[in-house]
Amino acid sequence: MAGWTVGKKVLATALGMGATGGAGLYVALDESVKADLTLHPPKLPWSHKGPIDSFDHASIRRGYQVYKQVCAACHSLKYIPYRHFVDVFMTEDEAKEEAAEVMVRDGPNDIGEMFDRPGKLTEYLPMPFPNSAAAAYANNGAVPPDLSLMVLARHGGEDYLYHLLNGYCDPPEGVELGEGQHFNPYFPGGAIGMAPPLYTDIIEYEDGTPATQSQLAKDVITFLSWTAMPEHDERKKFGMKAMLVLIPFTALCYYKKRQYWSLLKSGKYVYNPKKY
């Protein structure tokens, strides 16, 4: 290009910029017309989302029942111990009975052998599979994720999980699913390995609440919100107490600030040069 004239250089530059812009426009148009099979979950009015709202503890108890009877077969809650249940949705005796249902490997004993014993409050909820390889083998190669922090781990939180549990449907024309896959428009990509887990009356609630599919989803997600944020209620209580102290303190500080600075802000200084 050293021997090119100024006109040729300008023309070459213009052609290069045009080609680059055209390629960018083509990519943008191509992406814009592609069918997006992933739906964004609409927002729902969760009862604990307000600034001073607490969890529905009856719903947490029902949600634990849903998790125990439906979800625990595949998904773990490895960060949640039974002692967290106490005074949240169970009494201490109920939590002890719940923990005692699980046999825990312990030992060695006096003769050096391992033994099984009933669980205690300090035990964590049991894992459904002994290891990841066993979990993948039982689920067509996919390891079911732990649900302890799932509400915080997914974009959309409770809304995403609720619509995911209720969003199973037939795939649209042209979408082919692999063996053991199901179509859910709220799952990224649409193809999900988990079969629809909830159906109306799949379980019977202890308190007599009608076990509709939407009610089951709402309760188990409320329970998972609590597992992800067990300090939720205490945090809001502390925030309310802090506001009761900080609001009067802020008003007092503002009053003292106006008092101390009023002299400087309202004073008038005049310079009278000395005349000779």
What are the pLDDT tens digits along the chain (276 aa)? 555 566 666 666 767 777 776 666 666 655 554 445 568 899 999 999 999 999 999 999 999 999 999 999 999 999 999 999 999 999 999 999 999 999 998 888 888 888 899 999 999 999 999 999 999 999 888 899 999 999 999 999 999 999 999 999 999 888 888 888 999 999 998 999 999 999 999 999 999 999 999 999 999 999 999 999 999 999 999 999 999 999 999 999 999 998 888 888 887 778 888 887
Provide φ and ψ at 225, rounded to 5°. Answer: -65, -40
Per-residue model confidence (pLDDT) at position 33: 46
Per-residue model confidence (pLDDT) at position 130: 92
Per-residue model confidence (pLDDT) at position 184: 94
* 74 annotated as a binding-site residue: yes
Which residues of 14-69 form beta strands (DSSP E)?
Answer: none
Domains with residue ranges and CATH for the chain: 57-230 (1.10.760.10)
Per-residue model confidence (pLDDT) at position 123: 95
* 169 annotated as a binding-site residue: no
- Residue partners of 65: CB distance under 8 A and separation at least 6: 203, 205, 206, 219
Per-residue model confidence (pLDDT) at position 134: 94
Length of the chain: 276
Question: Among 106, 77, 112, 82, which residue's Cα sits nearest to residue 95?
Answer: 82
pTM of the model: 0.79
Question: Among 214, 188, 227, 191, which residue's Cα sits nearest to residue 41?
Answer: 188
Please give the biggest Cα pair distance in the chain.
112
Query: With contact defined as beta carbons under 8 Å apart, do 70 and 197 qualify?
Result: yes
* 40 annotated as a binding-site residue: no
* 194 annotated as a binding-site residue: yes
